[in-house]
Structure 1
Amino acid sequence: MTGTLDPFSPELRADPAPAYRSLRAAGRLHEFRPGIHLVSHYADCDAVFGDPAFGHGYFSGINPFRPGVDPRTLPGSFLLMDPPEHTRLRSMVAPSFTARATAALRAQITRTAVALLDRAAAAGEVDFVSEVAYPLPLNTICTMLGVPAADHARFGVWTAAISRGLDPDALLSDEEKRARVDAVGAFGEYFADLIERRRADPGTDLLSELATRGSLELTELVDMAVLLLIAGHETTMNLIATGLLALARNPDQRAILRADPQSSRHAVEEFLRFDTPVPFPTRVTMRDVEFAGQTLPRGTGLILLVGSANRDPEAFPDPDALDVLRFAGNRPTSRHLAFSHGPHFCVGAPLARLQGEILFTELVRRAPDFELLDHTPAFRNTVSMRGPKALPVRMPT
């Protein structure tokens, strides 16, 4: 590999910022593997997201990240697709995830957040990841889909296997690849059964709406349900966990939120920029492309280092400093790229933002003096999704 950074190196999990700075200084495009390049600058990542010449290429047989793998065995539904199929399937669920639609969930999310925080405070010391950051988004997306609460506990092993399996296959053992396939199959069986029950006795949930609409095949419905469940809680869990870690390490910024809890909606945008939950999205050239001074043939893979782009000083002044008011008011700043943009803009972004806003608003109201008991936590072994394994905290009332 040329350049200075292997973005998947375990040594970079705790603090990749210095390596990102080194890579940005070394140039715009770096060959990571033959036919696969790293992109680290904000302007370049921003351009790729908005250009239809870059897609995923799975169903065209040109994706270099999992060569020879049948995309139907992978989790992702329309996330793996390109237009027009991506457009068709995305349009089925997008109306349920607009800011206006998700605002209707505010009261329910607030009740859940308050209950989780109060229970954590009553316990005194808890793992914030497992007791708050994980169950809040899982409860939210399961409620939206109509998944019975009694079934939530069975998802842990499956979601862990799929989250690890989202990493490039070159980083996975044969056992991890088999675990991904098994988890996709287990989720498929679960949702196929639930969808049939919803068709027979529909409710007011999203899965019932999709199941009774009649425009989706069963396999499409199942794949979509798996995608929404995984994406609907894994990324938000990491947003909440890394946001708490950032506040614990920056007491001056915590004081700002404590003085004005409503500023949490701005802080969430900064948490997404500062420690991006999905730091390495990928794209593939769908045709020959001139990019960053080079000609990239069709089927070239790009690893977009969004974590680096969101720390690029050409886009964000003092990028390695946490500033919870960076996105407040009329202060001029670039948009962060945590949700990408363009055709593959994260459909669940409004829901993730709402949950983050509510959680941090209630946290600084109810337990502003929380104490992180480990300031150097270990991060999870996945690279496609970034977040700490555990965050032991003391929560005085």
Structure 2
Amino acid sequence: MNRVSGAAGTRGGDEWVLRRILDSEVRADPYPLYEEVRAAEPVWVRGRPVVVFASYAACGEVLRDPRASNDRGHSLLFRQTGPADGNRTPSPPAELPSFLFMDPPRHTALRRLAAPDFTPRAVRRLTPMIRELIDDLLDEAAASGRLDGVADLASPLPVTVICRVLGIGTGERDWYRTRSSLLGQAVDPYLAFLGVPAPGLARRRQAEAELTEFFSRLAAERRARPRDDMMSRLLAAETDGERLTDEEVVTTCRLLLNAGHETTVSLIANGLLTLLDRPETLAALRDDPGTAAPAVVEEMLRLQPPLQLVHRHAREDMEVRGTPVPRGTTMVLLLAGANRDGAVFGGCPHAFDAARAEGSQHLSFGLGPHYCLGAPLGRLEAELAFTRFAQRVVAPRLAAGPPGYRPHVVLRGPASLPLSTEGIRDRRMPWEAAAPDT
């Protein structure tokens, strides 16, 4: 197999598949491209220190390897990039600086401070609030006479929940959502595959500056007048005998706002779209939500992962499934491809099957020290959203043709889901089991 300085794979033409992954025309179904990458694995990007993996074995191995860093400082790609003719220009400054792009021990210390609000026990205490919010959103849709699965449920639910967890006002949730969505495009692999930043760099920098200013003002207010909220706790917390700087608190809260809802928006939106074609699954969610909902969410996570891929950087020379990976190489892991690897998910890996025995082995929340901090909250929100959608929304179906998709590559999901229904049932029906159809 060719090394990082060589051509892209044994067939010499595998690199074009990576460019196709960036194409908006394939956003509705990128999975055949991931299959091609897995068949050709590893795929090297011509002229850049980048290698791409899509098998379950390779992705899992990298996620567990402590030499695979989240710190962009270990990446030759993020230090300097440009065309392969030697006319290189410095890459743009890293966006979204936070503990997400740190390694242990600093990553561990900062993550530990935020973790108490995201444990399974802490998250379960949010169940009444999330249930009430979902019912409020469905009531608003019923009153308006129309229902969009994204605009009316998948989008407002997670951003409102994370705002309440952080202790910030929910009245400007559209303002947060718009800026967070822009920042989400920073992780799209344009730099890795093409050597250029993702489109919209100027708009992302503006959104980042506006969110930073917002959280900086809030941090100053909380230092002067602490409250019983996460930002106040972070401002008062100590690690290694020192308090966090305002910058660390601001970037941590900004990360939690962004990561705390963007992936869940995609999880719920993709899940609703999948459920529309599965009346038997909707019936199971109505009849026995306690059993059906967790299994449905795990299979949704496997089949339609809200985070399609991640980057890791070799802090030293390493080897992945027999492939030498030189120090400084950026490894792009197609988690969405790994989740459909027939070597692990047998039978029909491209089919939805909530009874799949191995379904919970998916990599959608990662592995190792960077396993998703918000996984318990994302699971709970999706379980409750799918359950109540099944219970209250009667005979949902797409009101038009196939939906358009957001511009995001990594945070893939439909932009809207206009639905036609035969009505929305009253919120007084119990959550634990559905009322019979009338």
TM-score, normalised to structure 1, is 0.92
2:313 matched to which residue of 1? 284
Aligned counterpart in structure 1 of residue 355 of structure 2, from 325, 332, 352:
325
Alignment of 1:258-269 (within 5 A): 258-262=286-290, 263-269=292-298
Q: Deviating runs (4+, > 6 A) in structure 1?
A: 171-175
Aligned counterpart in structure 1 of residue 329 of structure 2, from 283, 287, 300:
300
Q: Note the alpha carbon deviations across 1:73-125, whole angstroms, 9 max, x for none.
A: 51141111112221121111112111111111111111101111222233332
1:360 matched to which residue of 2? 386
Q: In the TM superposition, what is the alpha-carbon distance from 1:368 to its structure 2 partner?
A: 4.3
Aligned counterpart in structure 1 of residue 121 of structure 2, from 100, 114, 132:
100
Q: In the TM superposition, what is the alpha-carbon distance from 1:253 to its structure 2 partner?
A: 2.8
1:28 matched to which residue of 2? 41
Q: Is the 8 A contact 1:280 1:306 kept in 2?
A: yes
SS at match of 1:149: coil
Which amino acid counterpart does residue 225 of structure 1 have in structure 2?
C
**Partner Cα distance (2:358, 2:92) in 1:** 45
**Partner Cα distance (2:236, 2:249) in 1:** 11
2:70 matched to which residue of 1? 56
Which amino acid counterpart does residue 57 of structure 1 have in structure 2?
D
Q: Note the alpha carbon deviations across 1:324-359, whole angstroms, 9 max, x for none.
A: 233xxxx35551100001011000000000101111
SS at match of 1:343: helix
Q: Is 1:38 the equivalent of 2:59? A: no
1:213 matched to which residue of 2? 237
Q: Is 1:346 the equivalent of 2:372? A: yes
Aligned counterpart in structure 2 of residue 116 of structure 1, from 137, 150, 161:
137
Which amino acid counterpart does residue 105 of structure 1 have in structure 2?
L
Which amino acid counterpart does residue 320 of structure 1 have in structure 2?
H
**Partner Cα distance (1:306, 1:113) in 2:** 29
**Partner Cα distance (2:160, 2:178) in 1:** 16
**Partner Cα distance (1:333, 1:363) in 2:** 23
**Partner Cα distance (2:336, 2:162) in 1:** 25
1:394 matched to which residue of 2? 420
**Partner Cα distance (1:152, 1:334) in 2:** 32
Q: In the TM superposition, what is the alpha-carbon distance from 1:168 to its structure 2 partner?
A: 3.5
Which amino acid counterpart does residue 231 of structure 1 have in structure 2?
A
2:281 matched to which residue of 1? 253
1:149 matched to which residue of 2? 170
**Partner Cα distance (1:338, 1:237) in 2:** 14
SS at match of 2:254: helix
Q: Note the alpha carbon deviations across 1:127-175, whole angstroms, 9 max, x for none.
A: 2211111110111100011111233232243223212233235366687
Q: In the TM superposition, what is the alpha-carbon distance from 1:378 to its structure 2 partner?
A: 1.2
1:88 matched to which residue of 2? 109
Q: Is the 8 A contact 2:285 2:391 kept in 1?
A: no
Q: Is the 8 A contact 2:182 2:203 kept in 1?
A: yes
Q: Note the alpha carbon deviations across 1:291-317, whole angstroms, 9 max, x for none.
A: 232211101111111111111111112
Which amino acid counterpart does residue 378 of structure 1 have in structure 2?
G
In the alignment, structure 1 segments of 5+ residues that lack a partner are none
Higher mean Cα deviation, 198-207 or 140-149? 198-207
Aligned length: 391
Alignment of 1:237-252 (within 5 A): 237-252=265-280
TM-score, normalised to structure 2, is 0.84
1:77 matched to which residue of 2? 98
Question: Which structure is higher in RCO with an 8 Å CA cutoff and minimum separation 6?
Answer: 1
**Partner Cα distance (2:198, 2:144) in 1:** 40
Aligned counterpart in structure 2 of residue 13 of structure 1, from 12, 24, 27:
27
Higher mean Cα deviation, 169-178 or 353-362? 169-178
Which amino acid counterpart does residue 387 of structure 2 have in structure 1?
T
| Identity of matched residues, % | 37
**Partner Cα distance (2:199, 2:345) in 1:** 41
RMSD: 2.1
SS at match of 2:185: helix
Q: In the TM superposition, what is the alpha-carbon distance from 1:259 to its structure 2 partner?
A: 3.1
Higher mean Cα deviation, 114-123 or 229-238? 114-123
SS at match of 2:176: helix
1:335 matched to which residue of 2? 361
**Partner Cα distance (1:391, 1:283) in 2:** 33
Higher-Rg member (1/2): 2
Q: Is the 8 A contact 2:189 2:198 kept in 1?
A: no
**Partner Cα distance (1:333, 1:359) in 2:** 20
Q: In the TM superposition, what is the alpha-carbon distance from 1:371 to its structure 2 partner?
A: 1.8
Which amino acid counterpart does residue 43 of structure 1 have in structure 2?
A
2:219 matched to which residue of 1? 195
Change (3 A) 1:60 1:248: same
Which amino acid counterpart does residue 17 of structure 2 have in structure 1?
L
